[in-house]
Structure 1
């Protein structure tokens, strides 16, 4: 569970365009590996993150429907690209373009998940992702239950994609 005791600062952190944030989790989303860039940007030490749920860095302004889409895709043994705003230990935040993929054993069984994250294009964030995510979050928060809100925002996102005539991954990779 994400740490809701962290006070948000509104300050955005960045990392180098040639740096990659890498983490791996087990099947339940608990961190089994975090690289130096992940630790530096998020502001944690390796002992603080190992074995903890990856959603410890979930920012409350991230629409839940994006994570639903991520997990739905992972259960189909497929990869996904997504823009994500994460929360740092001190309450700062940082944006990433995440590539999340299942990890397989020699028999083709999913044994965990692997994510590489890069710095996203600022114009894409400002002109497309931030306004879209604000709309999705507003839809989620306008419903009496979290489940109803997530379902409504998921449907809104699917409608946007239908209007554009693209699947989610095509949309993300085209912007």
Structure 2
């Protein structure tokens, strides 16, 4: 089983789009390449096929809540490839709207995260995951809210400060 980190350039962007249920409807060339899937095999699949088991569910709960409300979100995400390698991204996820201002799909642009941010995010996510495993998603959510309270920052301020 592979478990190597895949990286990409600081000037490269991974782009994908999903429908309202999270099924992939578009991926740019870099997205397809890094995922390890053929385009025909990844399109119409749920985006969560890329979800790495090291990712705390609370992050995705927050992400889905925000985008379903029509708001953007930034998040650090560890994804897995088809052969179980992994890659870290700094994701900017936004809803897209139709002419009636109803959400029509979701769009994500991901860039390479800084090492400084990952040095903070990796132990934070490990801690949140441990809280989820012992006390459920609500325990992780409480821990994340306590961190933000201790820092005196909103989630957005915190993420963008890393």
TM norm structure 2: 0.97
Q: Which runs of 4+ in 1 moved over 2 A?
A: none
Residues 1:155 and 2:142 are matched in the alignment: yes
Residues 1:91 and 2:84 are matched in the alignment: yes
| Partner of residue 78, structure 1 | 71
* Structure 1 unaligned residues grouped into runs of 5+: 1-6, 144-148
1:107 CA drift (Å): 1.2
1:44 CA drift (Å): 1.0
Deviations 1:101-148 (A, max 9, x none): 00101110001100000000012202x1001000000101113xxxxx
Distance in 2 between residues matched to 1:172 and 1:108, nearest whole Å: 27
Deviations 1:16-38 (A, max 9, x none): 11110000000000000000000
- The 5-angstrom pairing of residues 123-134 of structure 1 reads 123-126=116-119, 128-134=120-126
RMSD value, Cα: 0.8
SS state at 2:52 partner: coil
Distance in 1 between residues matched to 2:69 and 2:152, nearest whole Å: 22
* Structure 2 unaligned residues grouped into runs of 5+: none
| Partner of residue 155, structure 2 | 168
TM norm structure 1: 0.90
